């Protein structure tokens, strides 16, 4: 069976993808510098799957660190999750974001070329559609103007990977544009573990529900949407992880490819619907108030996910209720995340 290197694999999406790849029979290697994670997530993946994972503490932007791994392991494909992802922080520290995110991509591509590893799947984001495109987003739409440096790093990395694939006839690239991953593995053993005050909606909701934060502020209720709050395409992280397994099967079966896939459900839900569903499914209260809009937020964002179904044979299976239940199950069992 093939061996897959997960760069940034100790993080939220990487750890769930590790579980699904192992379940599908792949061997997994993880490289992470724990900038936003801890090795505990991988210990938990080992408990869930009953398989040992080769785990390297490594900076993916550092060529010497990558050499150590590529010279020792046989790698068939790389999934590149490694990156910093806090939108607000990227506005405060743009150079940190450009340096870390773009360097990880360049170093990976250079090391892969040196060791003749020719398949890379990249964690991109719906944010690359920018402000001008109309929902639902289609892969054929042009990338747009991003509203923050984080988004620009994704857009730039897509361009770098596309140019590298055009120049190297052996290199295959798959760009996966994620919508809004939430939820956790149904065991409650792995999940999203944000450091400090969460930026994203679902971890904030779970922390209010568990009593770690007082009150959720819903950013704006005067948008031109069904109930005035923003809508997003929330996707269960396990469905998302299974999308990576399909993408690995696809890239390994192609002589050469350079493809983009949206990974979303195609169904938008509003912030108010998330809060109400969370309260109903879990029987808990989420204190909330309505506040000002957050700058840079789009009213609506959701996928046309037809291409992933047609080409990869992938579609989401889990419901919003599953997402809310599994997020809460993880939070309840791990009130302080991986710190116990």
For residue 255, the minimal CB distance to ligand NAD (Å) is 27
Please report whether residue 218 would count as binding ligand UDP according to CB under 6 A: yes
How many CB atoms are located within 10 Å of the residue 336 CB? Answer: 9
For ligand UDP, the nearest residue by Cβ is: 230
Nearest to 75 by CA among 129, 120, 140: 120
Q: Which member of 61, 172, 180, 316 binds ligand UDP (CB under 6 A)?
A: 180
Q: For residues 31, 308, 172 and 120, what is the CA-based torsion angle, rounded to 10 degrees?
A: -10
Q: Which residue has the tokens 């779970």?
A: 206
From 56, 150, 178, 250, active-site residue = 150
**Helix spans in the chain (H):** 12-23, 40-49, 63-72, 87-92, 94-97, 103-114, 149-167, 201-209, 237-253, 271-282, 306-307, 320-333
**Distance between CA atoms of residues 193 and 160, nearest Å:** 30
**Per CB under 6 A, 62 contacts ligand UDP:** no
Q: Does the annotation mark 150 as catalytic?
A: yes
179 in Cβ contact with 243 (< 8 Å): no
List the beta bridge partners of residue 303: 137
Binding site for ligand NAD (CB under 6 A): 8, 10-14, 32-37, 59-61, 81-85, 100, 104, 123, 125, 178, 180-181
- The Cα 278–Cα 289 span in angstroms is 16
Which of ligand UDP, ligand NAD, none sits in contact with 294, Cβ below 5 to 8 A by type? ligand UDP
| CB distance 326 to 236 below 8 Å | yes
Q: How many residues bind ligand UDP (CB under 6 A)?
A: 15
CA-based R_g, the chain, Å? 19
68 contributes a contact to ligand UDP by CB under 6 A: no
- Give yes or no for residue 297 binding ligand UDP (CB under 6 A): yes
Does the protein bind ligand UDP through residue 262 (CB under 6 A)? Answer: no
**Residue 120 or 218 having the CB closest to ligand UDP:** 218
Binding span for ligand UDP by CB under 6 A among 9-17, 142-150, 157-165, 199-207? 199-207
Q: Kindly list the catalytic residues.
A: 150
Kindly list the residues in this chain that would bind ligand UDP in the complex (CB under 6 A): 180, 199-201, 204, 216-219, 230, 232, 271, 294, 297, 301
């Amino acid at each position: 069976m093939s061996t897959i290197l997960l760069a940034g694999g100790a993080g939220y999406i990487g750890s769930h993808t590790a579980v699904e790849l192992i379940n599908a029979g792949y061997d997994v290697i993880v490289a992470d510098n724990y900038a936003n994670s801890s090795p505990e997530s991988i210990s938990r993946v080992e408990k869930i799957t009953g398989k040992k994972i080769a785990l390297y503490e490594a900076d993916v932007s550092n060529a010497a660190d990558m050499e150590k791994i590529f010279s020792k392991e046989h790698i068939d494909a790389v999934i590149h999750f490694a990156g910093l992802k806090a939108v607000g922080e990227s506005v405060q520290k743009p150079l940190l974001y450009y340096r870390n995110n773009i360097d990880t991509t360049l170093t990976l591509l250079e090391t892969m070329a040196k060791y003749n590893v020719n398949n890379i799947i990249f964690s991109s984001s719906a944010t690359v559609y920018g402000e001008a495109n109309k929902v639902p987003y289609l892969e054929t739409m042009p990338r747009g103007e991003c509203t923050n440096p984080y988004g620009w790093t994704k857009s730039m990395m897509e361009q770098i990977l596309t140019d590298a694939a055009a120049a190297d006839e052996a290199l295959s690239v798959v760009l996966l544009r994620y919508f809004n991953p939430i939820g956790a593995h149904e065991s409650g053993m792995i999940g999203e573990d944000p450091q400090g005050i969460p930026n994203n909606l679902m971890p904030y909701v779970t922390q209010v529900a568990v009593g770690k934060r007082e009150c959720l502020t819903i950013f704006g209720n005067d948008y031109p949407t069904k109930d005035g709050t923003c809508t997003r395409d929330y996707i269960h992280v396990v469905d998302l992880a299974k999308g990576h397994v399909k993408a690995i099967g696809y890239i390994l079966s192609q002589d050469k490819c350079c493809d983009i896939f949206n990974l979303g459900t195609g169904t938008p839900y509003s912030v108010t619907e998330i809060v109400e569903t969370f309260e109903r499914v879990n029987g808990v209260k989420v204190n909330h108030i309505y506040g000002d809009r957050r700058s840079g937020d789009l009213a609506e964002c959701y996928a046309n996910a037809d291409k992933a179904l047609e080409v990869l044979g992938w579609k989401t299976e889990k419901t919003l209720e599953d997402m809310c239940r599994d997020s809460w199950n993880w939070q309840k069992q791990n009130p302080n995340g991986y710190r116990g």
